[in-house]
Amino acid sequence: MAGFSIIEKSNISNFQWAAKIEDTSIPMEKYLTQLEGLAKDKRSPITQKDKEYVLERMIEEELLIKRALDLGMLDNNPMARGTIVQQMIKTIISENARLEVTEEDLKVFFENNKGFFTKSSRLRLQQIYFSDQQFQENSLEEANKAYRRLLKGDEFIDVAKMGSKSALKIPNSLMTLSKIREYIGPSLMNTARGLEPGMFTKPVEVSGGHKIIYLFEKEMASEPKFSQVRSSVSAEYLKRKDDQSLREYLENLKNWYDISRNLPD
């Protein structure tokens, strides 16, 4: 109430900005919000000196930020860049905090991702990756050649040499499904879970190329009931929503700005 009384008694709310530093403006709304916060903390009424103090601190903050940009700190300071990136990510996914998730949504998600929540299940697998960067438009063709060799019975270790050397190395040991997801993603994890030892997938299109997943060993446990893992289902559902929101936002950014790429050969 104290904050609102400030706005009502002052004609400064009629202006769009509270201060200008060259081409940068401090919005009046932002200034009044800061003033309102001070009013809530003070027991006595806000004075003219208080108003001036708040504005000067905001101007000083803006000056420091502007000077940091002029000095190239955003370009050369990894810590500063990391802080801004993390804050942007929090802002992008903050909308999901208001997302209403129904019980039906969670049950459908659980049914489609039972493998992820079967924590004691373990697989030992490897992948052959054919990157578009290396094989250009022939990545699918090369992946199909490898697939046909596997169908003929050629040893995996020999066929794997046909793939890109840049492929992420997967430990050659039994791993939980959640760990496997970190290496090949949720979709391929669920596909691999349906394989039997010695089986492999057809070439699957992924970001940047094509993959073949080969399963060597499988150790499955009984599937949990939804009621037993509901909290985990809810947490994972929201996490993937956040991941999806961030990915969509980044793809939009790539469309909003002109980007020139100059990858070395």
Q: What is the pLDDT of residues 80-92, one digit of tens each?
A: 888 888 898 888 8
User: What is the share, in percent, of the chain residues with pLDDT greater than 90?
Assistant: 36
Closest CA to 112 of 227, 211, 223: 223
The structure tokens listed for 243 are 């991941």
Q: Would the pLDDT of 3 be above 60?
A: no
Give 217 or 67, the one with higher predicted confidence. Answer: 217
Confidence label for 72 from pLDDT (cuts 50, 70 and 90): confident
Average pLDDT, integer, range 228-253: 90
| Residues 180-192 pLDDT 10s | 999 999 889 999 9
Confidence label for 265 from pLDDT (cuts 50, 70 and 90): low
pLDDT at residue 45, rounded to an integer:
87
Ramachandran region of residue 91, left (φ > 0), alpha (ψ -120 to 50) or beta? Answer: alpha
| Residues 104-141 pLDDT 10s | 999 999 999 887 787 657 899 999 999 998 998 899 99
Q: Would the pLDDT of 12 be above 60?
A: no
Average pLDDT, integer, range 224-233: 91
Average pLDDT, integer, range 6-32: 73
Residue 181: how many other CB atoms lie within 10 Å: 20
* C-beta pairs of 225-232 under 8 Å, 24+ apart in sequence: 226/106, 226/107, 226/110, 229/110, 229/117, 230/106, 232/117
Rounded to whole angstroms, the Cα distance separating 224 from 230 reads 10
Average pLDDT, integer, range 26-31: 90
Q: Would the pLDDT of 4 be above 70?
A: no
Handedness of CA 116, 118, 122, 125 (dihedral sign): negative
Rounded to whole angstroms, the Cα distance separating 93 from 247 reads 10
Q: Identify the DSSP state of 102.
A: -
> Could you tell me the CA-to-CA distances from 79 to 74, 76, 85, 114, 250 in Å, in that order?
9, 9, 10, 39, 21
| Residues 167-216 pLDDT 10s | 889 999 999 888 999 999 988 999 998 899 999 999 999 988 999 999 99
pLDDT at residue 180, rounded to an integer:
92
| CATH number for the domain whose boundaries are 119-219 | 3.10.50.40
Rounded to whole angstroms, the Cα distance separating 50 from 81 reads 33
Query: What residues contact residue 88 under an 8 Å CB cut-off, 6+ apart?
Result: none
Beta bridge partners of 206: 209
Average pLDDT, integer, range 60-70: 86
Confidence label for 9 from pLDDT (cuts 50, 70 and 90): very low
Q: What is the pTM of this model?
A: 0.48
Q: What angle, 0 to 180 degrees and rounded to 10, lies between the N-to-C axes of helices 103-112 and 230-256?
A: 90
Of the candidate ranges 16-20, 104-108, 158-162, the one whose mean pLDDT is the lowest:
16-20
pLDDT at residue 77, rounded to an integer:
82
Rounded to whole angstroms, the Cα distance separating 122 from 51 reads 63
pLDDT at residue 120, rounded to an integer:
59
Which helix (H) or strand (E) is 214 found in, with range?
Answer: strand 209-219
pLDDT at residue 6, rounded to an integer:
44
pLDDT at residue 215, rounded to an integer:
96
Is the CB of residue 21 less than 8 Å from the CB of residue 66? yes
Q: Where are the domains of the chain?
A: 2-76, 119-219
